[in-house]
């Protein structure tokens, strides 16, 4: 395992509000880091900061050099980001969208196969469902040779089958040596893939640590401000008896 | 003949007149009513005496506050729907509209304005002189020329159809090449002018670029003669029109 | 249909439009067999006019395509957003400072266009509806300002100013070689930027994540779009909707990638304006209509149709 990225004393603001302060985080190859926290805590913002897309205070090093030393193009060769669904107004087709991610040179077939979008290649993005568009975005990410992948809720919009495929894809990529950082909402999914976990509490605190230590029932219950129960290896919200 | 009295009554010397168009202004001075003119419109520029008169209108509206302050008794307008006229009428002023569309209208309107302002005999005298002069010009005119009249150069515009200009050109011995088009002022394609083969091109001498306009026309119609003339003399339906026709006839006459 | 068939179609259209533009007019002239007076009219009037129509149309279409990417909105267009208006205000201001200098007028138009786009850009992040609304209000503002300036102009300049407001291709204040050069340069710049522009279609974040220096790209696009609008406005006045209709048609035909859309728009805009001008000087011959009247007749229904389809 190799240290690809190191954030120390990282703090992020949204407008005048402090999202979190003093986060220390290592992103290593062949490891999946899951970011968890309540709505609005700053999970996506952290991802954007790691991609160099928004400014952050503190020290952020990419392969032992400060992030600010790199040009945009250099960052893009090292870090790939999957975020919000792109706009559809201009009538891009799936194939054109994928070609934009791949410099037009990569072979599209493995990624389109993995995300099961071969049949959609010539369709405009505007005609797809949001689940299909999400799969296109994941395929676009898969075309990026960068050693670090940042994923913002990759399983959003997906049906169960594709959620599982997506998680398996992340594990496979990590096993192949890639560093994966992902925001997830589902605790089960987080437990299934996480090597490292970042918890952001929405009160100004953020903390990173090994999955086994961070995915603790009391810790998560207080993080999400919701009672949780452990059933075997699973952590479940306590829905109560009323339903 | 378009002279209209919008309000009954007749008045005599001691009138306070507002002349709301350049030709009305010229007519009033020509019949000796100039001293009674107390206010004029923006584009009244002849004779020189009008330049010290207060401006109380432009081509689209009467500045009614300034106008009423002058306590006018008679307003001479070229357009009955000029904004602000109604206010003046309500304050008791008499409104007379003059909008000559041909030479005879000019003579008729001179008579009417003469009667309205108590200068009838001067008006009759003037009209007689003008008509005599016109007859002299007509007698001198033997050859006729096909002419193109440039109203504006960019975009290129002309007066066509049976417009006032067409009649003025006719009186001076010129046949407007676009008299067959039933439009008064029109934008015209230069190709059409070239094809119409005018022998004479008349350009306004107001702009500072007479030489470049001459060169422009020489390029397209090398055999045509280009004449520059004061456009106010031939496009304004005032008594000076006869002078304009005379000048134009003289210039056309020199053309072989 | 493959790409080469589509390009052949565009080129055939170009030739047809050029032949119509040369042949139609106050009287039909056979472009291949003109003699005497017809030859003079063909070579010295219709050919120059064809070049003005072609380059101005192409520049307007390119400016439209750039605006649309810059503002992330396929309905953006220099005329609708008042940028043609602000360019006219700039040009007339220059005319008031120093009359009869086409160069200074172009500079004035450039500054005007730049200010116009910058203001509209400040509204871009509020969403397409509000941005278009802001553009329409600004367009009204610029035309009011233009009316004010025109009222201050000496009468001898009024005709010139009038021609601007509706578009006039009968002659150009800028020399034709300069127009052709601008057209060519704009196309080359478009070619080099086409990949970055494609990435910008995914939104700013995605483009940045793909390694595009979005801020620098936007500044360049702003300069380019201002320059091209300024040249078109100085040459022919404000002609609306070419920049809306043509990029839209070309996207339908060629897809969204700018490698094809930009050159196709540069040619397609030329085709549209040549056709519009042919009609403008034929239907009321020997008089002629301002060409902007015709482009608006075509453009406004297309604009409304697109607006309807988007909601």
CB contact under 8 Å between A71 and C72, yes or no, is: no
DSSP code of residue B92: T
Distance CA C115, CA C93 (A): 14
User: Where a domain ends, among B84, B107, B134?
Assistant: B134
C199 CA to centre of own chain: 24
For residue A53, which residues of chain C lie inside 8 Å, CB to CB?
Answer: 205, 208-209
Residues 12-41 of A with CB under 8 A from C: none
Q: SS3 for B217? A: helix
Tally helices (H) and strands (E) across chain A: 9, 12
In this prediction, residue A62 has a pLDDT band, given cuts at 50, 70 and 90, of very high
Decide if A84 contacts A140 (C-beta within 8 A): no
Say yes or no to pLDDT of B188 above 60. yes
The pLDDT tens digits for A75-86 are: 999 999 998 899
Same structural domain, B27 and B146: no
Tell me which chains share at least 3 CB pairs under 8 Å with chain B: C
Give percent of chain B above pLDDT 90. 59
Please provide the average confidence, as pLDDT, over all residues in chain B: 88
Q: Output the pLDDT for position B227.
A: 92
Q: Shortest CB distance from C37 goes to which of B188, B194, B207?
A: B194
Same structural domain, B151 and B128: no
Nearest CA in chain B to C237: B155
Tell whether C162 lies on the interface with B, counting CB pairs under 8 A. Answer: yes
Task: Out of B93-102, B111-120, B152-161, B164-173, pick the least confident.
Answer: B152-161
C233 CA to centre of own chain: 8
Distance CA B67, CA B60 (A): 14
| CATH number (domain holding residue B44) | 3.40.50.1980
Distance CA C277, CA C293 (A): 10
State both tokens at C219.
Answer: 């500044």
Tell whether C57 lies on the interface with B, counting CB pairs under 8 A. Answer: no
User: Where a domain ends, among B75, B103, B134?
Assistant: B134
Non-local (6+) Cβ contacts of A69 within 8 A are none
CB contact under 8 Å between C73 and A89, yes or no, is: yes
CB contact under 8 Å between A72 and C206, yes or no, is: no
CB contact under 8 Å between C251 and A91, yes or no, is: yes
Task: Out of A48-52, A148-152, B224-228, C2-6, pick the least confident.
Answer: C2-6
Tell whether A127 lies on the interface with C, counting CB pairs under 8 A. Answer: no
Tell whether A181 lies on the interface with C, counting CB pairs under 8 A. Answer: no
CB contact under 8 Å between C208 and A53, yes or no, is: yes
DSSP code of residue A103: T
Nearest CA in chain A to C69: A90
CB contact under 8 Å between B155 and C156, yes or no, is: no
Distance CA A165, CA A224 (A): 27
Please provide the average confidence, as pLDDT, over all residues in chain A: 90
The nearest CA of chain C is from the CA of A143 a distance in Å of 12
For residue B157, which residues of chain C lie inside 8 Å, CB to CB?
Answer: 159
Q: Output the pLDDT for position C304.
A: 85
The nearest CA of chain B is from the CA of C37 a distance in Å of 8
CB contact under 8 Å between B156 and C26, yes or no, is: no
For residue B208, which residues of chain C lie inside 8 Å, CB to CB?
Answer: 156
For residue C170, which residues of chain B lie inside 8 Å, CB to CB?
Answer: 154-156, 189-190
Non-local (6+) Cβ contacts of C122 within 8 A are none
Strands (E), A131-174: 148-152
Q: Shortest CB distance from C26 goes to which of B183, B189, B207?
A: B189
Ramachandran angles phi, psi of A176, nearest 5°:
-80, 0
Same structural domain, B130 and B147: no
Q: Output the pLDDT for position B3.
A: 44
CB contact under 8 Å between B181 and C285, yes or no, is: no
Non-local (6+) Cβ contacts of C242 within 8 A are C57, C60, C61, C64, C269, C272, C273, C295, C299
How many beta carbons lie within 10 A of that of residue C13, not counting itself? 16
Same structural domain, B93 and B159: no
Residues A169-195: what's their mean pLDDT?
A: 93
Same structural domain, B129 and B147: no
Torsion of CA C217, C125, C67, C253, to 10 degrees: 100
DSSP code of residue C201: T
CB contact under 8 Å between B195 and C27, yes or no, is: yes
Range of the domain at B8: 4-134
> Could you tell me which of C86, C164, C165, C166 has the C-alpha nearest to residue C121?
C86
Tell whether C151 lies on the interface with B, counting CB pairs under 8 A. Answer: no
Q: Shortest CB distance from A86 goes to which of C68, C202, C257?
A: C202
CB contact under 8 Å between B152 and C163, yes or no, is: no
Tell me which of A76, A81, A100, A148 to substitute to probe the interface with C (most C C-beta atoms closer than 10 Å). Answer: A100
How many beta carbons lie within 10 A of that of residue A24, not counting itself? 15
Task: Out of A217-221, B166-170, C194-198, C260-264, pick the least confident.
Answer: A217-221
Q: How many CB pairs (< 8 A) connect B and C?
A: 62
Tell me which chains share at least 3 CB pairs under 8 Å with chain A: C
CB contact under 8 Å between A86 and C206, yes or no, is: yes
> Could you tell me which of A13, A181, A224 has the C-alpha nearest to residue A81?
A181
For residue C107, with 0-12 CB atoms within 10 Å meaning exposed, 13-18 middle and 19 or more buried, which class applies? middle
Tell me which of A44, A89, A125, A137 to substitute to probe the interface with C (most C C-beta atoms closer than 10 Å). Answer: A89
CB contact under 8 Å between A100 and C198, yes or no, is: yes
Residue with tokens 């009955």: B80
The nearest CA of chain C is from the CA of A86 a distance in Å of 5
Same structural domain, B127 and B18: yes
Give percent of chain A above pLDDT 70. 98
> Could you tell me which of A22, A27, A31 has the C-alpha nearest to residue A64?
A27
Q: Output the pLDDT for position C156.
A: 54
CB contact under 8 Å between C156 and B192, yes or no, is: no
Q: Crossing angle of helices C83-97/C158-166, nearest 10°?
A: 170
Task: Out of A235-239, B246-250, C85-89, C242-246, pick the least confident.
Answer: A235-239
Distance CA B239, CA B131 (A): 10
Distance CA C277, CA C166 (A): 13
Same structural domain, B109 and B230: no
Residue with tokens 């009247």: C293
Q: Output the pLDDT for position A169.
A: 94
pTM of the model: 0.84
Same structural domain, B121 and B151: no
CB contact under 8 Å between A73 and C211, yes or no, is: yes
Strand partners, B226: B201
User: Where a domain ends, among B103, B134, B165?
Assistant: B134
A79-82 and A234-237 strand pairing: unpaired
Percent helix, strand and coil across chain A, each to the nearest 5? 35, 30, 35
The nearest CA of chain C is from the CA of B130 a distance in Å of 31
State both tokens at A60.
Answer: 């952020």
* Rounded average pLDDT per 10-residue block, chain C, 311 residues: 89 95 88 86 90 95 92 85 89 82 85 91 80 89 88 64 71 87 94 91 91 90 89 87 92 88 96 94 85 88 80 54
Q: For the structural domain made of A3-237, what CATH number should be given? A: 3.40.50.300
> Could you tell me which of A110, A227, A216 has the C-alpha nearest to residue A172?
A110
Decide if B18 contacts B57 (C-beta within 8 A): yes
CB contact under 8 Å between B189 and C156, yes or no, is: no
The pLDDT tens digits for B119-164 are: 999 999 999 999 999 999 989 888 899 999 998 887 888 998 888 9
Same structural domain, B119 and B155: no
Tell whether A101 lies on the interface with C, counting CB pairs under 8 A. Answer: yes
Say yes or no to pLDDT of B11 above 80. no
Long-range CB contacts (within 8 A, 24+) of B134-140: B134/B103, B134/B171, B134/B242, B134/B245, B137/B171, B137/B172, B137/B242, B137/B245, B137/B246, B137/B249, B138/B171, B140/B249, B140/B253
Distance CA A102, CA A107 (A): 8
Q: Shortest CB distance from C285 goes to which of B156, B192, B220?
A: B192
Tell me which of C48, C286, C288 to substitute to probe the interface with B (most B C-beta atoms closer than 10 Å). Answer: C286
Residues A69-94: what's their mean pLDDT?
A: 91
Same structural domain, B79 and B121: yes
> Could you tell me which of A111, A94, A97, A116 has the C-alpha nearest to residue A172?
A111
CB contact under 8 Å between B183 and C288, yes or no, is: no
Same structural domain, B125 and B162: no
CB contact under 8 Å between A87 and C68, yes or no, is: no
Same structural domain, B97 and B187: no
Domain count, chain B: 2
Catalogue all structural domains in chain C, each as residue range(s) with its CATH number. 3-310 (1.10.3470.10)
CB contact under 8 Å between B190 and C156, yes or no, is: no
Tell whether C213 lies on the interface with A, counting CB pairs under 8 A. Answer: yes
Distance CA A18, CA B86 (A): 69
For residue C74, which residues of chain A lie inside 8 Å, CB to CB?
Answer: 89-90
CB contact under 8 Å between B186 and C162, yes or no, is: no
Q: Do chains C and A touch (3 or more CB pairs under 8 A)?
A: yes
The nearest CA of chain B is from the CA of C153 a distance in Å of 14
Tell me which of B22, B45, B151, B155 to substitute to probe the interface with C (most C C-beta atoms closer than 10 Å). Answer: B155
Q: Shortest CB distance from C281 goes to which of B186, B189, B206?
A: B189
Report, in angstroms and rounded to the nearest whole number, the Rg of chain B calculated over CA atoms.
Answer: 20
């Amino acid at each position: 395992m190799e240290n690809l990225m190191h954030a120390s004393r990282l703090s992020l603001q949204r407008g005048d509000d402090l999202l979190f302060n003093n986060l220390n985080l290592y992103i290593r190859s062949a490891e999946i880091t899951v970011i968890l926290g309540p709505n609005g805590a700053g999970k996506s913002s952290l991802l954007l900061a790691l991609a160099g897309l928004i400014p952050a205070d503190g020290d952020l090093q990419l392969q032992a050099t400060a992030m600010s030393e790199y040009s945009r193009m250099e960052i893009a060769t090292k870090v790939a980001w999957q975020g919000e669904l792109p706009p559809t107004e201009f009538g891009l087709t799936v194939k054109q969208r994928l070609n934009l991610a791949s410099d037009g040179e990569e072979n599209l077939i493995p990624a389109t196969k993995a995300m099961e979008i071969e049949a959609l290649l010539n369709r405009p993005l505007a005609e797809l469902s949001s689940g299909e568009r999400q799969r296109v975005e994941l395929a676009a990410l898969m075309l990026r040779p960068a050693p670090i992948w940042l994923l913002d809720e990759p399983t959003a919009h997906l049906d169960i089958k594709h959620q599982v495929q997506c998680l398996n894809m992340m594990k496979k990529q990590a096993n192949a040596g890639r560093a994966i950082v992902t925001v997830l909402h589902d605790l089960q999914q987080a437990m299934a893939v996480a090597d490292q976990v970042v918890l952001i509490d929405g009160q100004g605190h953020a903390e990173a640590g090994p999955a086994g230590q961070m995915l603790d029932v009391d810790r998560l219950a207080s993080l999400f401000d919701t009672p949780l129960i452990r059933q075997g290896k699973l952590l479940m919200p306590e829905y109560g008896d009323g339903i | 003949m378009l002279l209209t009295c919008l309000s009954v009554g007749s008045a005599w010397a001691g009138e306070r007149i507002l002349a709301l168009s350049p030709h009305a202004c010229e007519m009033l001075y020509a019949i000796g009513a100039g001293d009674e003119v107390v206010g004029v419109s923006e584009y009244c520029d002849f004779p020189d005496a009008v330049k010290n008169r207060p401006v109380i209108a432009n081509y689209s509206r009467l500045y009614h506050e300034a106008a009423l302050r002058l306590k006018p008794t008679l307003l001479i307008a070229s357009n009955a729907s000029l904004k602000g006229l109604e206010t003046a009428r309500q304050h008791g002023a008499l409104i007379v509209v003059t909008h000559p569309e041909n030479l005879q209208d000019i003579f008729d309107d001179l008579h009417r304005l003469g009667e309205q302002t108590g200068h009838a005999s001067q008006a009759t005298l003037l009209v007689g002189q003008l008509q005599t002069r016109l007859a002299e010009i007509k007698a001198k005119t033997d050859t006729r020329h096909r002419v193109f009249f440039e109203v504006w150069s960019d975009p290129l515009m002309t007066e066509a159809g049976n417009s006032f200009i067409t009649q003025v050109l006719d009186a001076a011995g010129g046949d407007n090449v676009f008299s067959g088009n039933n439009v008064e002022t029109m934008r015209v394609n230069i190709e059409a002018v070239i094809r119409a083969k005018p022998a004479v091109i008349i350009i306004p001498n107001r702009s500072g670029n007479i030489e470049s306009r001459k060169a422009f026309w020489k390029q397209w119609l090398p055999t045509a003669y280009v004449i520059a003339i004061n456009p106010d003399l031939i496009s304004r339906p005032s008594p000076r029109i006869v002078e304009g026709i005379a000048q134009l006839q003289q210039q056309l006459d020199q053309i072989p | 249909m493959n790409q080469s068939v589509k390009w052949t179609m565009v080129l055939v259209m170009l030739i047809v439009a050029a032949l119509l533009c040369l042949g139609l007019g106050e009287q039909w002239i056979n472009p291949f067999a003109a003699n005497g007076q017809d030859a003079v009219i063909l070579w010295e009037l219709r050919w120059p006019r064809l070049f003005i129509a072609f380059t101005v149309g192409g520049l307007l279409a390119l400016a439209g395509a750039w605006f649309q990417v810059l503002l992330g909105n396929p309905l953006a267009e220099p005329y609708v957003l008042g940028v043609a208006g602000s360019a006219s205000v700039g040009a007339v201001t220059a005319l008031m400072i120093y009359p009869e200098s086409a160069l200074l007028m172009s500079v004035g138009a450039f500054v005007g266009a730049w200010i116009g786009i910058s203001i509209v850009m400040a509204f871009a992040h509020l969403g397409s509806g509000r941005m278009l609304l802001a553009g329409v209000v600004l367009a009204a503002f610029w035309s009011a300002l233009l009316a004010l300036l025109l009222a201050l102009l000496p009468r001898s300049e009024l005709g010139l100013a009038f021609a601007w407001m509706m578009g006039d291709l009968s002659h150009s204040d800028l020399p034709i070689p300069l127009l052709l050069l601008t057209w060519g340069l704009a196309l080359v710049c478009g070619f080099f930027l086409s990949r970055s522009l494609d990435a910008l279609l995914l939104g700013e974040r995605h483009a940045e994540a793909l390694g595009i220096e979005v801020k620098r790209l936007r500044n360049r696009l702003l300069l380019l779009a201002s320059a091209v609008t300024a040249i078109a406005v100085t040459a022919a006045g404000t002609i609306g909707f070419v920049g809306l209709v043509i990029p839209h048609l070309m996207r339908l035909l060629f897809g969204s990638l700018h490698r094809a859309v930009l050159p196709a728009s540069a040619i397609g805009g030329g085709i549209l304006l040549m056709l519009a001008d042919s009609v403008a000087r034929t239907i009321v011959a020997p008089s002629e209509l301002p060409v902007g009247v015709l482009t608006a007749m075509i453009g406004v229904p297309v604009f409304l149709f697109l607006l309807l389809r988007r909601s």
